[in-house]
Amino acid sequence: MQMLVVVINNSQKFEELLLELSNNNISGGTIIDTMGMAKTLLDVNENIPLFGSLRYILNENKPINKTLFMVLSDDKVSIAMDCVRRVIPDLSEENVGIMLTIPVNHVEGLTK
């Protein structure tokens, strides 16, 4: 089993991802609102040296990120990751999101 963690910076794309996962029979997980560290630091301390354009981008009234945590069987992880790639083809772009997996050695409370 693995935990798939997906952080998406665009709430519309996040909704598309949830539909894509559902269409591929992948369900269950936890969704939380999150905020990146750079944005948080900027809110806390405006004296942090940033280039003007970067400060403007980070200071926009940008929606909070959406983070999805899913514990999946190994065979479903690649399917779920493909769903993410279909909705967001290039996670290497700046401020788009991140996807990672973490091995899960033990879990209780999951239903099938």
Q: Which helix (H) or strand (E) holds 11?
A: helix 11-23
Model confidence at 53, pLDDT cuts 50, 70, 90, reads: low
Q: How far apart are CA 5 and CA 9, in angstroms?
A: 13
User: Domains along the chain?
Assistant: 2-103 (3.30.70.120)
Which residue intervals of 33-95 are DSSP H helices?
A: 37-44, 52-59, 74-87
Give the count of beta carbons closer than 10 Å to the beta carbon of residue 61.
4
Q: Tell me the pLDDT of the chain averaged across its residues.
A: 85
- Residue-level pLDDT at 4: 99
pLDDT digits (tens, 9 = 90+) for 66-94: 999 999 999 999 999 999 999 999 999 98
- Residue-level pLDDT at 45: 61
